[in-house]
Amino acid sequence: MVKRIVVGAHYGFRDWLAQRVTAGVMAVYSVVFVIAYAAAGPADHAAWRAFFSQGWLRLATLLFFASLCYHAWIGMRDILMDYIKPVWLRLLLQVLVILTLAGYAGWAVQILWRG
């Protein structure tokens, strides 16, 4: 294949910004969660379930996990771009990362809205 120098893929900015925004979402959630936890202080399993049956907390936790997955995707993609040079292997690993994160997100939904 001819090797040409190609510059400016015209993407990357959105991911960079999203990584910052998702970090902000996670930081805010962490503070809010600690406060809510300290206020409610669920001691046993039943109390934990009651704690997480609050609609706003479920939604906030879902947003947290969505942010976490997007944030982790960009971070993992960057690591793979740095260290995995064969394109086929990098693509394969990137797909695996996406599937894993999507699986985690689905699992989080399942746990949050279980029973």
Partner 1 sequence: MRISIYRYDPDRDAKPYMKDYEVPVEPADRMLLDLLVKVKAMDDGFAFRRSCREGVCGSDAMNINGKNGLACITRIADLKEPVVLRPLPGLPVIRDLIVDMTQFFKQYHSVRPYLVNDEPAPERERLQSPEERAELDGLYECILCACCSTACPSFWWNPDKFVGPAGLLNAYRFLADSRDRATNERLDNLEDPYRLFRCHTIMNCVDVCPKNLNPTRAIGKIKEMMVKRTV
The answer to whether 84 and 97 have CB atoms below 8 angstroms apart is no
Binding mask 78-97 for partner 1 (x = CB under 8 A): x--xxx--------------
* Beta carbon of residue 15, minimum distance to partner 1 (angstroms, whole number): 7
Cα 36 to Cα 56: distance, rounded to the nearest angstrom: 11
* Beta carbon of residue 71, minimum distance to partner 1 (angstroms, whole number): 14
Nearer to partner 1, 65 or 73 (CB): 73
Positions 16 through 75 that interact with partner 1 (CB under 8 A): 16-17
Nearer to partner 1, 9 or 46 (CB): 9
Helix (H, G, I), strand (E, B) or coil at 54: coil
Cα 99 to Cα 20: distance, rounded to the nearest angstrom: 23
